Structure 1
Amino acid sequence: MNRIPRRIVTGIQNGKSTIIEDYEVENTVEHLPGLIISDLWNTQKTPASMDFEAPIPNTGFPQTPKNGTYFRYVVIPPDKNLGVEFKPGEPHPMMHRTQTLDYIIILSGELYLIMEEGETLLKAGDIVIQRGTNHAWSNRSDKSCIQLAVLIDGGE
């Protein structure tokens, strides 16, 4: 399974800032061959609590808490490795919608963002603001794509 970078969590001890946690991420799940998800952090409300948040289970489609957030690391393998076949003129088989506002950063590789009307190729460094719309991800390359996403409850 893909190695997820370290997760470092800061906090306050004895009135001074300190590093509370520093370790390799352990909550990593491979939902489909090569599709690796790690939900790194969450908040349960807004404004966010600065206290420790309980670990959350990794799910294929996030269950963002009401008024909360998810911070998610995703490795998306090539479509051919997933057995996903996209037929022009038909909805993408991975089309989905979440009731969240998502900030997504492509860290490496490339990936198509597919909408009901149109698509665009994303490359490392690109940023997507995904506003609760139907969408799918399609990796038509030969290498995995890594993205980071912050999902914010859309309140709908």
Structure 2
Amino acid sequence: MNTIPRRIVTGTKNGKSVIVEDQPTENVVEHLPGLIISDIWNTKTMPAELDFETRIPNTGFPQTPQNGTYFRYVVIPPDKELGVEFKPGEPHPMMHQTQTLDYIIILSGELYLIMEEGETLLKPGDIVIQRGTNHAWSNRSNEPCIQLAVLIDANGG
């Protein structure tokens, strides 16, 4: 399984800023061959509570808490390694929709963002603002793609 970067959490002790945690990320699951997801952090309220953490279950499709957020690290393998076959003119088999506003950054590799109408190739450094729409990810390359995503509970549009 790929190595997920370590997780560093800050806090306050005796009125001074401190590092509360500095260790490898523990919440890592390989949901399908090569599809690795780590739900790094979540919040359950807005505004967020700074001194509270609840470990969250690591799910293939996110379950963002009402009025909350998810911060996730995702490794998406090539479609051929997942056994995903995408036929032009048909919906992508991994098409899904969440009731969230997502900020996504591509760290490495490349990935197609597929919408019901149209698609675009994403490369390292690209940023996606995903506004609760039906979408899928397709990795047509030979290398995994790594993305970071912040998902924020949202009202329907």
Same fold (TM > 0.5): yes
Paired amino acid for 2:26: E
1:53-104, CA deviations, whole angstroms, 9 ceiling, x for partnerless residues? 1110100111100000000000000000000000000000000000000000
8 A contact 1:37–1:60 mirrored in 2: yes
The percentage of counterpart residues that share the same residue type is 83
Question: What displacement does 1:26 show?
Answer: 1.0
Partners in 1 of 2:117 and 2:54 — Cα distance? 38
TM-score (norm 2): 0.98
Question: After the TM superposition, which parts of structure 1 deviate over 3 Å for at least 4 consecutive aligned residues?
Answer: none
Any unmatched runs of 5+ in structure 2? none
Correspondence for 1:132:
132
Any unmatched runs of 5+ in structure 1? none
3-state secondary structure, aligned to 2:80? helix
1:21-69, CA deviations, whole angstroms, 9 ceiling, x for partnerless residues? 0000011000000000000000001000001311101001111000000
Correspondence for 1:77:
77
RMSD over aligned CA atoms reads: 0.6
Correspondence for 2:113:
113
Correspondence for 2:58:
58
The 5 Å alignment of 1:1-156 reads 1-156=1-156
Partners in 1 of 2:10 and 2:23 — Cα distance? 12
Size of the aligned set, in residue pairs, is 156
3-state secondary structure, aligned to 1:80? helix
Partners in 1 of 2:27 and 2:67 — Cα distance? 23
